[in-house]
Structure 1
Amino acid sequence: MSFSALRNPLRNTARRATQLPKAQFRANFNRKFSTPPPPPAAEAKSSSTGLYLGLGAAAAAGLGYYFYYTTSGKEAGTAVRSAAQAAKVKANFVPAKEDYIKVYNRIAQILDDAGEYDDGSYGPVLVRLAWHASGTYDKESKTGGSNYATMRFDPEAGHGANAGLKVARDLMEKVKEEFPWISYGDLWTLGGVAALQEMAGPKIPWRPGRIDGFAAQATPDGRLPDATQSADHLRNIFYRMGFNDQEIVALSGAHALGRCHRDRSGFEGPWTFSPTTVTNDYYRLLFDEKWVWKRWDGPKQLEDKKTKSLMMLPTDYVLVQDKSFKKYAKAYAESQDVWFKDFSKAVSTLFELGVPEEQFVTKEPWILPTVEEQAEKKD
């Protein structure tokens, strides 16, 4: 493979949307590392030249993994990329923080290139990609999580919970072509971080170190939440990942973003009036609106009685029915700052699930500046 194409290639100020009626805002198992875990690396420094020097050896190593694991050309390419990532970490030929900021900025730049897609932003679907790529983790078997980016492979790519995410994966593939040195797991989770921060959300601590895996490491179906289920189901799913009740409720607030699609999940509609801005409206609406069961031919979901333009899923509504969940949801409805703090911590943890500590290229996660903050610094 050729690495001669390696090159170092904004989004406008994040805006906080006002609450609008729907019509207006729509118009406007056997776990083994694919490469041996590298020793802890020191804080990375910019090393583009050294990076190129290490890629030839990494490619050769990747071919060895190819013959060991598979006879598929697609997985051969994955093996080369995976070995390259591990070689960079082991040899300390690791891109610096500034290099990852360039990737962040490219993602931020394309968030609003969505045209007529959904509500005019790719942000929500990028958050969903990062979430679903990470939320497959099983703390007992230590499988799943963001480390191997196995949603690239069937059957995981086709799991019902991942319906519609090809849009996000294809979008990230364009970024991957510009920055071929970044692993898919790092790219997808960084995409989630960029989307959340650029949509006026809290800062999400993040660090690189994920490596690309193989189809054999893809996770079984059923590890992600089923929106038709009860509080017990949510606990089973999130406890399996290592989260508690407070973190379950905090992470549920991501439903402030985006909407459901009839042709994907079967559900239809947005949760809030501002689906491209991170706010605590999801919690406020749960308490402030009167929710009734929607009369239609689709799966059970609720709609707000007043406008019938918003929806909540059964797993959303349990947050105000379950005693333990309710106290956290109420706190988040009353204070966006409290939710931002807890959400930031929980999302950072979520995006690191399944990644061995020794793979990370820095001990402490980074706080990456938004595009607006970078511009202000230059001024």
Structure 2
Amino acid sequence: MEAQASASASAPAPTLAPPVVNAEYYKEIERARRYLRALISSKNCAPMMLRLAFHDAGTYDALTKTGGPNGSIRNPQELNHSANRGLETAVDLCEKVKRKHPCITYADLYQLAGVVAVEVTGGPTIHFVPGRQDSLSSPAEGRLPDANKGAEHLRLVFNRMGLEDKDIVALSGAHTLGGAHKQVSGFDGKWTEEPWKFDNSYFKELMKSSTKSLTTSNPPTGYSQQKPSSSAAGEDSTGRRLFIFPTDQTLIKDPKFLGYVMLYEQEEEAFFRDYAASHKKLSELGFVPPTLASRVITAVKNSSTMAKTAAGVAFATTAIAITFYYRRRSQREQE
């Protein structure tokens, strides 16, 4: 997530009415999922869709219960935040899906797009629960991570969301996809040799990385007050240097972060397992999924309906039996 961050409060965002998450809504989610698979594959836009999902969710403040995966990133004032530069294309692509499936909220759509982006590039399956409400307003700018900063900053930002060290490292593994673009962040390069494949290459490159600095241009005005820097993480098959953010370097400099990096470098299955769990947490920040209680109420209602139907059938059967009995009795008396 290429962005700058500082803890900033805002008034609770008004929300639209919650979606009616019934059988038809689930069907629409599955239809949208199929559409997204084809769209993301054909447009080769998985990194962009994943970034959209992360940036919509990553504004959450657990203390004030504001921000989060509520679709507010589509609002012009939030989309124009320096952290979200370049995401207009992802929002426009999602709008195509929205037009075909209008009952799905933007909040669900953006998070579903992130889940599918991981799936179609070979990553883990992430359990998706629909029902998020759309927000009519956005939090103030400055809640997302600043790529120029270190461990203290990363913990401040992610702890504010309610996430922990393991989540920070696992979610950073999403940098296995795509790369940085100078016109977007002031950085330029890719993290891994195969930036369209979701695997644990990011952690392998981190462990090989050196501290040799590369010179990059100043970022666009408003992105950061610091001049960005990066370090070499080896070279790809063409001899081009791979790239890491200062926040990536932090993961191998901080002992607690490093433990997870080493684990994920050695065990891709462990990375996939933890990534799927952390991605799900991020995508549900501030969201209360349909509860067991609501499912029980639905089941009771269904049972009640079935009971009424069964009672009706029993009554009709009894009436038929009585009618048959009196007809037979009348026939006997006439004989």
**Same fold by TM (over 0.5)?**
yes
Task: Determine if the alignment matches structure 1 residue 144 to structure 2 residue 76.
Answer: no
**Stretch of structure 1 that moved more, 347-356 or 333-342:** 347-356
1:283: which partner in 2? 203
Any unmatched runs of 5+ in structure 1?
1-28, 35-81, 115-120, 364-379
Distance 1:361 1:190 in 2: 25
Task: Determine if the alignment matches structure 1 residue 156 to structure 2 residue 78.
Answer: yes
2:256: which partner in 1? 324
User: What letter corresponds to residue 149 of structure 2 in structure 1?
Assistant: Q
Distance 1:257 1:312 in 2: 12
What displacement does 1:138 show?
0.4
2:39: which partner in 1? 110
Decide which of 79, 87, 91 is 1:165's aligned counterpart.
Answer: 87
What displacement does 1:308 show?
4.0
1:46: which partner in 2? none
Distance 2:91 2:113 in 1: 10
Task: Determine if the alignment matches structure 1 residue 223 to structure 2 residue 143.
Answer: yes
- 1:48-67, aligned counterparts within 5 Å? none
User: What letter corresponds to residue 112 of structure 1 in structure 2?
Assistant: S
2:5: which partner in 1? none
What displacement does 1:170 show?
0.3
Distance 2:33 2:180 in 1: 26
What displacement does 1:349 show?
0.6
What displacement does 1:180 show?
0.6
Deviations 1:103-129 (A, max 9, x none): 101000011322xxxxxx111100000
Report the CA distance shift for 1:172/1:290 in structure 2 as closer, same or farther (over 3 A): same
- SS of the residue corresponding to residue 333 of structure 1 reads helix
2:3: which partner in 1? none
Deviations 1:228-268 (A, max 9, x none): 00110000000001111111111110000111110011100
For normalisation by structure 2, the TM-score amounts to 0.77
Decide which of 293, 314, 330 is 2:213's aligned counterpart.
Answer: 293
- 1:163-312, aligned counterparts within 5 Å? 163-215=85-137, 218-298=138-218, 299-306=228-235, 307-312=239-244
Task: Determine if the alignment matches structure 1 residue 133 to structure 2 residue 56.
Answer: yes
Asked whether the 8 Å contact 2:94–2:110 carries over to 1, the reply is yes
Distance 1:270 1:98 in 2: 37
**Is the radius of gyration larger for structure 1 or structure 2?**
2
1:66: which partner in 2? none
User: What letter corresponds to residue 35 of structure 2 in structure 1?
Assistant: R
Decide which of 252, 271, 274 is 1:339's aligned counterpart.
Answer: 271
Q: Number of residues paired by the alignment? A: 274
Deviations 1:135-169 (A, max 9, x none): 1100000101012x111113211111111001100
Distance 2:282 2:216 in 1: 35
Structure with larger RCO (C-alpha < 8 A, sep 6+): 1
Asked whether the 8 Å contact 2:187–2:216 carries over to 1, the reply is no
Asked whether the 8 Å contact 1:208–1:360 carries over to 2, the reply is no
Report the CA distance shift for 1:272/1:305 in structure 2 as closer, same or farther (over 3 A): closer
> How much is the aligned-residue C-alpha RMSD, in angstroms?
2.0
What displacement does 1:304 show?
3.1
